[in-house]
């Protein structure tokens, strides 16, 4: 049941925080996450906002280990984090990463959280990467084109980062989504499991996208290629499955630039839990949406210990089966 634990923390904190009026449905999403989870975060992308706007020093737990600021800065520089980076907005993927934990010699928690805020009913586009159920720090570094995120995360995670599997272990992806954010009567907020968006394996999605681009070019230019050749082309393209390789800069002979494909994705209405396809996700509601599994009862028990009057039901994803919804209306 380790997968949803971080998401449950956000859901419980969000509901209780709204009930106690610690924040509002239209409060900045990063403020909400920091107020709820600050002691459990291993990475914050906008560390400047965290400190200046929300009075939270991301590095406070590390600073306590040193007698003065100078020793802290020197220690951070030795680990590749300059003073300029300490309190900056890195503009990397993702927005937040939770601290990793260990249970029975296996990594748990350490979830990835990306914020998606929209004034309309659609979900803001996904930049740099496809939304997926899992990602590792290794994948994140290649997507970003540098290792800043894993470097900061590993510093906060401390001794866990010395484990040989730390950078490769698959972390759950969650998305904190708000639509109609500036309309108090229509606003919806959901913590959504990445499985809701990964209805086709990303490996299949990549080569199918390239194949579709090729077919559209052939159609536009009225070029007819024998079917057996197209079958061979499709078979060859099917080996293009690794998003991390595609996202990396490529060295081309005689080229003075290194091309890099930046992947973006837009959500199909049937993949948007806030769309009319899912009327159960009502206005002025806060929801936790996770893929239906045998551990749902454990998640239910965990939530019921901390939040009252939670409505629990199942929605059928138009493209990816049943998902369990934990909902509170305001």
Q: What is the value of pTM for the model shown?
A: 0.90
Give me the pLDDT at residue 245, please: 78
pLDDT of res. 218? 92
How do residues 295-304 score in pLDDT, each as one tens digit? Answer: 888 899 999 9
Q: Which of 9, 49, 12, 6 is nearest to 28 (CA)?
A: 49
Asked whether the beta carbons of 62 and 40 are under 8 A apart, the reply is no
Give the DSSP per-residue string, 178-244.
EESTT-TTT-EEEEEEGGGT-SS-HHHHHHHHHHHHHHHHHHHTT----HHHHHHHHHHHTT---HH
User: Count of H helices and E strands in the chain?
Assistant: 12, 13
Query: Which residues are within 8 A (CB) of 221 and not within 5 positions of it... i.e. 6 or more apart?
Result: none
Whole-number pLDDT of residue 156: 97
Of the CA atoms within 13 Å of residue 257, those in its CB half-sphere come to 3
Q: What is the pLDDT of residue 183?
A: 95
Give pLDDT, residue 2: 55
Could you say which residues of the chain have pLDDT below 50? 1
Query: If you compute the radius of gyration of the chain from its CA atoms, what whole number of angstroms results?
Result: 22
How high is the pLDDT of residue 3?
58
CA dist 93 and 173 (Å) reads 12
């Amino acid at each position: 049941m380790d997968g949803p634990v971080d998401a449950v923390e956000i859901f419980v904190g969000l509901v209780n925080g709204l009930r106690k009026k610690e924040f509002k449905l239209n409060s900045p999403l990063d403020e909400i996450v920091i107020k709820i989870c600050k002691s459990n975060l291993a990475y914050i992308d906008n560390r400047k906002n965290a400190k200046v706007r929300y009075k939270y020093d991301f590095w406070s737990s590390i600073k306590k280990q040193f007698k003065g600021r100078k020793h802290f800065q020197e220690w951070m520089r030795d680990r590749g984090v300059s003073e300029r980076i300490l309190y900056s907005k890195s503009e990397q993927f993702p927005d937040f990463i939770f601290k990793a934990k260990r249970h029975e010699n296996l990594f748990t928690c350490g979830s990835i959280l990306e914020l998606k805020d929209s004034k309309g009913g659609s979900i803001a586009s996904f930049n740099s990467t496809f939304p997926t159920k899992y990602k590792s720090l290794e994948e994140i570094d290649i997507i970003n084109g540098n290792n800043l995120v894993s470097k900061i995360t590993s510093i906060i995670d401390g001794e866990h980062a010395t484990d040989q599997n730390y950078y490769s272990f698959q972390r759950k992806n969650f998305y904190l989504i708000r639509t109609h954010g500036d309309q108090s009567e229509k606003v919806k907020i959901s913590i959504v499991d990445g499985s809701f968006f990964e209805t086709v394996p990303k490996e299949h999605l990549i080569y199918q996208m390239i194949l579709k681009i090729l077919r559209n070019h052939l159609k536009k230019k009225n070029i007819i290629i024998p079917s057996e050749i197209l079958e061979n082309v499709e078979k060859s393209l099917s080996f293009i499955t690794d998003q991390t390789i595609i996202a990396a800069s490529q060295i081309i002979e005689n080229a003075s630039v290194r091309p890099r494909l930046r992947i973006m994705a837009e959500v199909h209405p049937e993949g948007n839990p806030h769309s009319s396809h899912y009327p159960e996700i009502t206005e002025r509601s806060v929801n936790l949406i996770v893929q239906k599994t045998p551990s749902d009862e454990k998640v239910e028990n965990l939530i019921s210990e901390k939040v009252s009057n939670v409505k629990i039901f199942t929605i059928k994803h138009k493209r990816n089966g049943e998902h369990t919804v934990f909902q509170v209306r305001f």
